[in-house]
């Protein structure tokens, strides 16, 4: 991390002096999901990521959202419904 980048992050941290109900470490799919659920529940949530967004595993994924099409093609209608409901 360059010195300029570190200074920029330090100045941002100084502006975050407040209490948080939840601090999520890691901005991958799991961390983002936890952050979303926490804010939907009305909690004051902060997400901390070491690198830039979508840097780690998320940057190496196929970027496709599983929509249950394979289940539909195989005639598994209940699994298709459940898959679609999970995306809501």
- Residue 81 reports pLDDT greater than 60: yes
Total of domains in the chain: 2
Q: What is the pLDDT of residue 11?
A: 82
Residues 69 and 47 reside in one and the same domain: no
Tell me which residue range forms the domain holding 69: 63-88
Residues 14 and 49 reside in one and the same domain: yes
Residues 2 and 35 reside in one and the same domain: yes
Q: By C-alpha distance, which of 65, 59, 58 is closest to 86? A: 65
Residues 75 and 41 reside in one and the same domain: no
- pLDDT tens by residue, 7-39: 777 787 777 778 899 999 988 888 888 999 999
Residues 8 and 46 reside in one and the same domain: yes
pTM for this structure? 0.51
**Interior angle at CA 18, CA 46 and CA 16, nearest 5:** 65
- Residue 47 reports pLDDT greater than 80: yes
How far is Cα 71 from Cα 73, in angstroms, rounded to an integer?
6
Residues 5 and 28 reside in one and the same domain: yes
Residues 67 and 50 reside in one and the same domain: no
């Amino acid at each position: 991390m360059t010195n300029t980048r570190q200074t920029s992050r330090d100045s941002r941290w100084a502006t975050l002096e407040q209490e948080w109900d939840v601090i999520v470490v890691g901005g991958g799919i799991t961390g983002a999901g936890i952050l979303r659920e926490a804010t939907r529940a009305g909690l004051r949530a902060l997400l901390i990521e070491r690198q830039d967004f979508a840097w780690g595993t998320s940057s190496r994924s196929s970027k496709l959202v599983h929509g249950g099409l394979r289940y539909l093609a195989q005639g598994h209608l209940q699994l298709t419904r459940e898959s679609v409901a999970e995306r809501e």
